[in-house]
Amino acid sequence: MEDLVNMGLVRSIGISNYGVFLTRDCLAYAKIKPAVNQIEMHPYFQRDSLVKFCQKHGICVTAHTPLGGSTANTKLFSSLSCLDDPVIKVLAEKYGKTPAQLVLRWGLQKNAVVIPKTSKVERLQENLEVFDFDISDEDMEEIKAIDKNCRSNQPAKFWGIDVYS
């Protein structure tokens, strides 16, 4: 990838799903620092130390699965979504936003890029309307407290219902 950058064929290099250990390792040997680390990040998997580590080293964090991924699909995973969390619901109501908007705004206020996916046009619009409000520091702290350190992205276990084990 570095050769491709030097040849002018690639502008920036990204890494994905690198934890602190791998990112530190990469920084030790990379001649060109990765521009971005795309990692799973949402209120149930906040990854504070990894996010801070990347940002301290000038690596932009992109939050994939920013809504909790397929667990946000309540038809499949009824009780596991951070969008259903009581704290998220109450705060969403307080700000006059949907739980998804609140969760995306939380990601932005952690200085991450958020890349939600939806199959529904109306949700595309909903997910864009996150730039007209600020979550207070106090409420960010409340969201911090609901972290479950739970990865929802476990392809090997995806079709078993027990995705959080």
Ligand X SMILES: NC(=O)c1ccc[n+]([C@@H]2O[C@H](COP(=O)([O-])OP(=O)(O)OC[C@H]3O[C@@H](n4cnc5c(N)ncnc54)[C@H](OP(=O)(O)O)[C@@H]3O)[C@@H](O)[C@H]2O)c1
The torsion defined by the Cα of 70, 72, 77 and 83, in degrees rounded to 10, comes to 150
Residues 92-111 that bind ligand X (CB under 6 A): 98, 100
Residue in the structure block whose two tokens are 């199959």: 119
Among the residue ranges 25-33, 61-69, 89-97, 139-147, the one whose residues contact ligand X (CB under 6 A): 61-69
Rule CB under 6 A: say whether 73 interacts with ligand X. yes
Rule CB under 6 A: say whether 64 interacts with ligand X. yes
Supply 98's token pair: 């949907």
CA distances from 114 to 1, 40, 86, 120 (A): 24, 10, 22, 17
Q: How many CB atoms lie within 10 A of CB 115?
A: 14
Q: Which residue lies nearer to ligand X by CB, 17 or 49?
A: 17
Among the residue ranges 25-33, 43-51, 64-72, 135-143, the one whose residues contact ligand X (CB under 6 A): 64-72
Edge to edge, the sheet with strand 14-16 lists 14-16, 36-40, 60-64, 112-114
Rule CB under 6 A: say whether 154 interacts with ligand X. no
Q: Which residue lies nearer to ligand X by CB, 130 or 138?
A: 130
CB of 80 to ligand X, least distance (A): 12
Among the residue ranges 4-12, 22-30, 52-60, 122-130, the one whose residues contact ligand X (CB under 6 A): 122-130
d(CA 108, CA 62) in angstroms, rounded, equals: 10
* Identified binder of ligand X from the candidate list 120, 145, 156, 165, rule CB under 6 A: 120
Q: What does 127-146 look like in DSSP terms, one character per residue?
A: HH--SS----HHHHHHHHTT
* Nearest C-alpha neighbor of 116 from the set 74, 53, 65, 55: 65
* Identified binder of ligand X from the candidate list 16, 49, 78, 125, rule CB under 6 A: 16
CB of 7 to ligand X, least distance (A): 25
Q: Could you list the residues that contact ligand X (CB under 6 A)?
A: 16-17, 38, 64-70, 72-73, 83, 98, 100, 115-120, 123, 126-127, 153
